[in-house]
Structure 1
């Protein structure tokens, strides 16, 4: 199929509508000397509000942005599609449907994926923290079950921030429908959110007890079973006697994120499970005309946690460097902040804010989170 794109002017192609590429769209006027196209398979779902949407505190429309509408607003071309590969010698981006786009510069902002164990054909429904649209589908399924008077048992796999948020907001959803649903959180680590201050972990453990979330630490998920989830104690040699069955109707995996599969077919260097290898200028180590930011990018100099705040902070550097690359001028270097603020939505008007060794919990933390989230979303909703 013939290539898409404009002749005569440089063409910047944005692949994926993550935090950084949304920023580029909003500041499209600063790249007015180039044509720009956004390629995305669908809506941008704001991960910072995903747990709250699962728990019923937000409606799906509140956490979703339509890149096509934004493209019209800011003067970009938009294409519904998925990237399948790059022909860097010909400067063409290939899409899964066979179309190609000519490009001069590429900005990859593809987010991350959430691996899960293979589902049992007759076993529990299996869900993952990403894509976020699946969490919305889970909310609809559980809401229907509660309205029918059913009380499904739920298991969340993962003792990090995402797993804790999901478990708490699943409890919030059950409380909204006065359902006594059983919710179990299992963690392969012996401590929930191991990087959190000890005081914050103690407060969190007490909160989970108060709201009725059962916590099983030091347990790893092994496989799905017809009747639920098979798990084993972390560090114990594998064997039939080591397995324990946790009966449930739904399993939600939040045990870690991985680079999106689309990166595998690009012929560019990846760093293990971290993502596309990029310099501090956010350029691929293999190609100075391929940029990446957010969860799909792995800085050679720093291993960063997968938090949206890093994609947000990378965005101005990405914009400046795309412009500099077009003009042939020196590029900026992205220097990650030493500490990032994390605020967990724990449902039922409770939050937990952590920054380095500082932490504070309660309603004020959640109100602060809501303010930050709304400030971000307002930039792209209107």
Structure 2
């Protein structure tokens, strides 16, 4: 009996669990290590904040998926890995040996410039903690018309969250004065076409989001630009860049230049044939791409097949990520911005498209067997 350890319940591993539920792999014991009994789908969180979804609509229940697949669940987090000896260490001090390991643990939020010490900090990672904290903060924002929110990060996540928060506060309080600020010192939507950026600027202006195109820092509870201009913010949503888990450096795995796990065309570690990785914790050195849930979802089927092939001693199947991906950015109200290479569009039809894609994706894991 061989043992497959799945570390983390990210988007790609959801696909593995679903596949195991449909057809178990003979002679394989599967162990899932995850600190959370559910996986919150990041693509729907802005819509939940805006009030378009209930939280249960944005959640894949991991425990029922694992139960249907005959997978043993260990409710803990990986804190160390010895790839040469073939075991992972858990936060509670225990360890689990593996024949094949698949890592889909995500990445940590890279906080800097004193932001980690801000008393109103709401880091978007881990997502489970962010959702819990936002549920507590929202009533306070609705009760205090003067409370302000700063969103740090000009990528897709920062733009979507700023628009969602501004829309929700305006809709429920009727206050149109700016209460949300988006700080994007690294640029607004870097990597997206100029037309997408223009549409995002228009959407932010339409929702009254103050755009600060400078880097910001925190000194205790005070927020300011690097030039020393003070910024009013009671709550700070950090949607900044990501960094690798600290334990990767001592794992024995070969790492990519960005310090994440270096994987090749089959999502296989370039140094250890029995280790695979997908999602933000991995970096394709042969086909670099952005760290986005879009790529993690696409990697799920090939990861599933290659894990089964590796356990059976069969050749792997190559997978080359698409050169460009479709992004549908939630724009606050039931509207979205389409980003596809040089093409851009926006409006209610784009939202309906995004909503259909997101709901279809979640049905696969909320109702196994449905497509």
TM over 0.5: yes
Alignment pair present for 1:33 and 2:55: no
Structure 1: where are the runs of 5+ without partners? 1-8, 233-241
Q: Deviations over 1:59-83 (max 9, x none)?
A: 2222122322211112111110111
Alignment pair present for 1:185 and 2:170: no
In the alignment, what sits opposite 2:11?
A: 19
8 Å contact from structure 1 (residues 277, 298) kept in 2? yes
- State the 1:359 CA deviation: 1.3
The number of residue pairs the alignment matches comes to: 361
The separation in 1 between residues aligned to 2:299 and 2:143, in whole angstroms, is 46
8 Å contact from structure 2 (residues 328, 336) kept in 1? yes
Over the aligned positions, Cα root-mean-square deviation in angstroms equals 1.9
Q: Look up the SS of the partner of 1:359 in the other structure.
A: strand
8 Å contact from structure 1 (residues 124, 224) kept in 2? no
Change (3 A) 1:21 1:271: same
Alignment pair present for 1:254 and 2:239: yes
Q: Look up the SS of the partner of 1:336 in the other structure.
A: coil
- State the 1:12 CA deviation: 0.5
Alignment pair present for 1:342 and 2:327: yes
In the alignment, what sits opposite 2:77?
A: 82
In the alignment, what sits opposite 1:161?
A: 156
Alignment pair present for 1:296 and 2:293: no
Change (3 A) 1:212 1:330: same
Q: Look up the SS of the partner of 1:352 in the other structure.
A: strand
Structure index of larger Rg: 1
Alignment of 1:1-382 (within 5 A): 9-28=1-20, 29=23, 31-42=25-36, 43-117=38-112, 118-119=114-115, 124-178=119-173, 179=175, 180=177, 182-189=179-186, 191-217=187-213, 219-226=214-221, 228-232=222-226, 242-273=227-258, 275-382=260-367
- Runs of 4 or more, structure 1, over 4 Å off, are none
Q: TM-score, normalised by structure 1?
A: 0.89
8 Å contact from structure 1 (residues 278, 299) kept in 2? yes
8 Å contact from structure 1 (residues 352, 360) kept in 2? yes
- State the 1:106 CA deviation: 0.4
8 Å contact from structure 1 (residues 128, 254) kept in 2? yes
Structure 2: where are the runs of 5+ without partners? none
Q: Deviations over 1:270-308 (max 9, x none)?
A: 224351111212121221101101111011112210111
The separation in 2 between residues aligned to 1:224 and 1:50, in whole angstroms, is 29
- State the 1:138 CA deviation: 4.1
Q: Look up the SS of the partner of 1:206 in the other structure.
A: helix
8 Å contact from structure 2 (residues 142, 169) kept in 1? no
8 Å contact from structure 2 (residues 154, 183) kept in 1? yes
Structure scoring higher RCO (CA < 8 A, sep ≥ 6) equals 2
The separation in 2 between residues aligned to 1:44 and 1:57, in whole angstroms, is 19
Q: Deviations over 1:115-152 (max 9, x none)?
A: 2234586x550122222223323432343214434431
The separation in 2 between residues aligned to 1:34 and 1:318, in whole angstroms, is 16
